[in-house]
Structures are given as structure tokens and as C-alpha cells.
């Protein structure tokens, strides 16, 4: 097999990610996947969780980063040391060095053009990011000196927040015409490249009913001028729409992408409507990065009840995706 592997960073060890990986590996990766996968994880931790969930997959440890010796009949891993006492522990800063090293290895492989794409498992924003980055999206953007755009993707309709993991009190001051234009253009390029179509984009307002009693209106001063400029650039875009009445079936059928001004404005409805049947795609990076649309889910550790649908969608998405890697920018 000549295909480059999907590089998977397992992320926070005390999350449901390995449980999901085992389920997806058994169902799809081992039997039907054309693209191999390379897991960056702790071998000992992987084996302990495998035993806990009663799986008996074979493992191939990859030691040569220059020429990856991938075995398609085994779980291919790069072993990153992680000290633990129990199969599941409380999430803490203990795993920070392990996660940081895992991402470093992943980016080095991508820079050497040895990976097809990157999937990462969930991490703890509280412990790993420590207020230095708003999320992994922004963490990877800084590491690659890129401007990132979050797209929560589903083939039916997708959403994209202009501001991501910001406190509500900081949303308005972080909105500007330039970021709306940049994000819309990145989304447009993605759809043209991936789906071979010019997307129909809707933009939501910030204020209730797109109105405000204040003299300064974000809709009039920021959002409408951005939409006007994008229309001049031949992008199919409409708005601003009032968020409270927008997410009807009529609108979600009409538009391919909904751009919102903040995280919960668009992620709450898409997760409710699609029941987590979406993936997080980071646009603007020099490589393709996707992740399941959920967090570590510490309350579900060890219960073997987590739904692998979003992770499975990540794998299937990359399998079908045609993307030219630009390793020089990594």
C-alpha cells in the first residue's frame, strides 16, 4: 500500500478516545480502509486499555520516522512515554508533556510529508492549554504560523463560528470586518476544492433580532459591510439573519454553511439537529486536520458506551478527501 498514513494523536489519555478508536478499528480500519493509520500514543497505556475493553489487536511499533514501516494487519503506533498507575485517572496537568510531545512528533511527520492528514483526540483546555490558546485549533495555528478557521462539517449543512472559545463578554470586541471576510473566503475555497461546488453561505447577526438600542450596531458597522465585500468577490452569501429563527429545515436545506458570530450560537443548534453527527475541520492550516466533535467526556470513562460516530466520520472524510499537503509551511 503506497498511501501515506492518517496520523492520529490520541490526546488526553484519560478520555474516551481509545475506546472509540478500538470500536472504529474493529469496524472499519482493520477491514475496509484503504488508507493506513499511525497512532501516536503510549504503548503501555494502549495495551492496558485494550485489555480493559477486551480487545486483542496486534501492535506494530514504528521506530524509523524517515521510512515508516507500516503493517496494515496491525495497529501501527509511535510510542510516547507516559507514566500512569491506573487505566483511568483524573484529568490533570500530568499528561501535558506527553500531549505536547505527541503533537510535536505529528507535526514533524507532516513536515516531512509522511502523513496524509491529522486527527487528534480530545484534550483538556483547562490543563493543557492553560489560557495560552483558546483551543487546539488555535494551538496548531500558532505552531504552523497560520490563520485557522473552525468548520463543524456535515454533508447536509455545516457551521462556522467567527469567535471560538471566548467568554461571552469578549465576543463583541473581537469581531471585525476582516475576520469575517477571511473566514468566509477559507470556507468558500474549501467547498470548491473538496465538494467541487460554490457554497451558499448564510451569516447570522450578533444581537437579538439583529438589532440594538446602542448607537454602535455590529450588524451595521461590521457584519453588513463584510457581506457586501464578499458579494463583490463573487461569493454566494446572505445575511445577517436573526439566530433565534434561523435554524429551520427550510434554511438548513437552502444553505451549505452558516457563519455565526460566536461558538454556542451555531454549535448548539448543529449538535442538537444532527445529534453530534459532524466533525471539526480546521481550515487555513498547511495540512488537513480534523477531530471528533466532542471533548474528553470524563464521566463516561470505562463504561464502553461512547458513540464512535464522529470519529468514524473523521476517518471516512479523510479517506475520500483530495488534499495537497504544503509541508514547507508546517
Domains and CATH numbers, the chain: 1-148+284-330 (3.40.718.10), 152-278 (3.40.718.10)
pLDDT at residue 186, rounded to an integer = 96
Residue 328 pLDDT level (bands cut at 50, 70, 90): very low
Number of H helices and number of E strands within the chain?
A: 10, 12
Enter the pTM of the model: 0.87
Count Cβ atoms below 10 Å from residue 41 Cβ, excluding itself: 26
Q: What is the mean pLDDT of residues 213-238?
A: 94
At 254 the pLDDT is: 96
What is the model's pLDDT at position 329? 55
In 162-256, the DSSP E strands lie at 201-204, 237-241
Average the pLDDT over 322-326 and give the result.
55
Section 284-298 average pLDDT = 88
Is residue 64 very low, low, confident or very high in pLDDT (cuts 50, 70, 90)? confident
3-state secondary structure at position 184: helix
Strands laid side by side in the 279-283 sheet: 59-61, 75-79, 37-41, 6-9, 117-120, 289-292, 279-283, 149-153, 158-161, 257-260, 201-204, 237-241
Give the confidence band of 131 by pLDDT, cuts at 50, 70, 90.
low
**Considering only CA atoms, which of 187, 158, 155, 184 is closest in space to residue 283?**
187
Confidence tier at 214 by pLDDT (50, 70, 90): confident
> Cα dihedral sign for 46, 51, 55, 61?
positive
Mean pLDDT calculated for residue range 200-228: 93
Strands 6-9 and 117-120: parallel
Question: Dihedrals φ, ψ of 290, to 5°?
Answer: -130, 160
What does the pLDDT read at residue 327?
47
Q: Among residues of the chain, what percentage have pLDDT more than 90?
A: 64
- Say what angle helices 224-232 and 177-194 make with each other, to 10 degrees: 40
Q: Which residue has the cell 451569516?
A: 203
Mean pLDDT of 155-181: 95
DSSP string, 94-150: GGHHHHHHHHHHHHHHHHTT--SEEEE----IIIIITTSSSSHHHHHHHHTT---EE
d(CA 64, CA 38): 13
What's the rounded Cα separation, in Å, for the pair 319 and 15? 25
Amino acid at each position: 500500500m503506497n498511501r501515506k498514513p492518517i496520523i492520529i494523536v490520541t490526546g488526553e489519555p484519560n478520555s474516551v478516545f481509545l475506546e472509540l478508536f478500538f470500536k472504529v478499528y474493529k469496524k472499519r480500519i482493520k477491514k475496509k480502509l484503504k488508507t493506513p493509520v499511525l497512532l501516536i500514543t503510549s504503548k503501555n497505556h494502549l495495551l492496558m486499555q485494550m485489555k480493559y475493553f477486551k480487545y486483542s489487536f496486534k501492535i506494530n511499533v514504528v521506530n524509523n520516522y524517515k521510512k515508516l514501516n507500516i503493517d496494515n494487519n496491525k495497529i501501527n503506533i509511535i510510542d510516547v512515554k507516559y507514566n500512569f498507575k491506573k487505566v483511568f485517572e483524573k484529568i490533570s496537568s500530568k499528561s501535558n508533556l506527553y500531549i505536547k510531545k505527541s503533537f510535536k512528533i505529528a507535526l514533524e511527520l507532516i513536515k516531512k510529508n509522511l502523513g496524509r492528514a491529522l486527527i487528534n483526540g480530545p484534550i483538556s483546555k483547562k490543563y493543557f492549554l492553560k489560557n495560552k490558546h483558546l483551543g487546539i485549533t488555535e494551538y496548531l495555528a500558532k505552531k504552523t504560523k497560520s490563520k485557522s478557521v473552525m468548520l463543524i462539517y456535515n454533508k447536509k449543512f455545516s457551521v462556522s463560528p467567527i469567535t471560538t472559545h471566548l467568554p461571552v463578554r469578549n465576543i463583541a470586541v473581537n469581531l471585525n470586518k476582516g475576520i469575517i471576510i477571511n473566514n468566509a473566503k477559507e470556507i468558500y475555497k474549501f467547498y470548491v476544492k473538496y465538494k467541487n461546488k460554490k457554497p451558499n453561505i448564510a451569516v447570522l447577526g450578533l444581537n437579538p433580532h439583529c438589532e440594538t438600542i446602542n448607537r454602535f450596531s455590529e450588524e451595521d458597522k461590521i457584519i453588513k459591510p463584510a457581506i457586501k465585500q464578499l458579494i463583490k468577490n463573487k461569493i454566494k452569501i446572505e445575511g445577517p439573519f436573526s439566530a433565534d429563527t434561523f435554524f429551520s429545515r427550510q434554511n438548513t436545506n437552502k444553505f451549505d454553511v452558516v457563519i455565526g458570530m460566536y461558538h454556542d450560537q451555531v454549535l448548539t443548534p448543529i449538535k442538537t439537529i444532527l445529534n453530534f453527527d459532524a466533525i471539526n475541520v480546521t481550515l487555513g492550516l498547511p495540512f488537513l486536520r480534523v477531530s471528533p466533535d466532542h471533548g474528553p467526556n470524563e464521566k463516561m470513562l470505562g463504561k464502553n458506551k461512547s458513540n464512535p460516530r464522529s470519529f468514524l466520520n473523521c476517518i471516512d472524510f479523510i479517506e475520500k478527501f483530495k488534499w495537497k499537503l504544503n509541508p514547507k509551511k508546517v
